[in-house]
Amino acid sequence: MAERSPRLKDVAELANVSLSAASRILRGDDGRFGEETCRRVREASQKLGWRRNLLVSGMQTGKTSTIGVMIPPYDSFWVSVLTGIHAKCAEADYLPITVWLGDLDHMPLFDAPEEEGLRLINRMLDRRVEGFILWPPFGMAYSHHFPELRDHTVPVVMIDHHTDEPISDTVATNEEHATRLVARHLIDLRHKRIGFVSSPEAPSKTWAVERQNHFARAIESLSGGRLVVARVGPEGTDELVVVKKLLSGPDRPTAVFAATDHEAASVYRAAAELGLRVPNDLSVVGFADLDFASSMSPALTTVRQRPREIGARAATLLLERITKQASEGPYLDARVEADLVLRDSTAPAPDTLR
């Protein structure tokens, strides 16, 4: 019981070299050592099953090969982002520590006390994480601590979050291109009155604003048309009521683009309650291609983002900042493409059938 794991000293002794030689050789800094010596040391290490104590080397070199990831597994999009981060980190032999605050049930309307979040950040800094990847609401909530992190040369990458003045590297979907695909599709189907439904407003949802603006511009430039917007108000607003209002009246839109698949589901519900059939009376397009999108009925036409790629890019960016000490360059705004997936929720505008 309580078997001690082998020490570097043990390896050195077995290989008949000094501690420092063993240390250097096993770190790969073996340029100036005899081939034979290197072999002996490596064999001894293998044989004893020695593993570097990362706490020690981390303390001395600052390199813990660990990063902090504040992203909740909120839906399949974010789970895939996490998977991308994990995969990329594994390649680089880094370990991501993923933490989040609060309950999934209340996730989208996140506003945990800032204090708690700082406690989490500190818990990770105490373990000397070398950088952070943040979910928009966290990025938002803690952005005023970024300068402090930077002073400690702990870089930060945010996903899907932009501020007027850039304060970190960011990775996001190419909203301009993605929304243009949607606009083109709906216009090809001869829709003229097109609506946009977004989730409750929150300061962290800069992606929603961006999505709406780009979409509006695309509609305008492609058809000269104007968007009918239903931005669900501040938290607590009843989404269904707002959407039903948008879909009522003689000038109701014949097609609706939802900010995400979650809102698309609300649109389905509102349509059902109003007796509107999708897609015959109303075309619906979502965004994200979440796990449930293809099993909605009718199956949802939506923009398939590439969350794994987004996660991988974020990790890559962060690791570059960390390893190359490229902490100096200007902040980057990486964009990942997305594709339109045509399913059964879009059809030619009803007007054109009359």
Partner DNA sequence: CTGAAAGCGCTTACAG
DSSP of 72-105:
---SHHHHHHHHHHHHHHHHTT-EEEEE--S-GG
Q: Which of 20, 122, 153, 323 touches DNA (CB under 7 A)? A: 20
Site for DNA in 29-88 (CB under 7 A): 29, 32-34, 37, 50, 52-53, 56-57, 59-61
Taking the C-alpha atoms of residue 345 and residue 189, their distance in angstroms, rounded to an integer, is: 12
Cβ closest to DNA, residue 29 vs residue 188: 29
* 90 sits near its own copies (criterion: CB under 8 A): yes
Nearer to DNA, 63 or 192 (CB): 63
CB of 323 to DNA, least distance (A): 14
Q: Which two tokens stand for residue 232?
A: 């669900």
Task: Give the integer Cα–Cα distance in Å for 134 and 127.
Answer: 17
Q: Tell whether residue 5 is a contact of its own copies (CB under 8 A).
A: yes
Distance CA 49, CA 51 (A): 6
Consecutive H or E run containing 133: strand 132-134
In 177-332, DSSP assigns E strands to 194-198, 227-231, 255-258, 283-288, 301-304
Q: Hey, how many other C-beta atoms are within 10 angstroms of the C-beta on 292?
A: 14
* 82: partner contacted, choices DNA, its own copies, none (Cβ within 5-8 A by kind): its own copies
Nearer to its own copies, 134 or 349 (CB): 134
CA-wise closest residue to 171 among 326, 317, 320, 319: 317
Q: What is the Cα–Cα distance from 9 to 5, expressed in whole angstroms?
A: 11
Stretch that binds DNA, among 16-24, 257-265, 270-278, 314-322 (CB under 7 A): 16-24
Minimum Å gap between C-beta 152 and DNA is: 13
Q: Which residues pair with 284 in a beta bridge?
A: 256
Told to check if 98 binds its own copies by CB under 8 A, we report yes
> Minimal distance in Å, beta carbon 4 to DNA?
7
Closer to its own copies by Cβ: residue 87 or 188: 87
Is position 124 an interface residue for its own copies (rule: CB under 8 A)? yes
Q: How far is the CB of 72 from its own copies (least distance, A)?
A: 8
Residue 341 to residue 275: CA distance in whole angstroms = 26
E strand residue ranges, 118-175: 132-134, 156-159, 169-173
Contact positions toward its own copies, by CB under 8 A? Answer: 1-3, 5, 51-56, 58-59, 64, 66, 73, 76, 79-80, 82-83, 86, 90, 93, 95-100, 103-104, 119-120, 122-128, 150-153, 265, 292, 295
- Per CB under 7 A, residues contacting DNA are 7-9, 16-21, 23-24, 26-27, 29, 32-34, 37, 50, 52-53, 56-57, 59-61
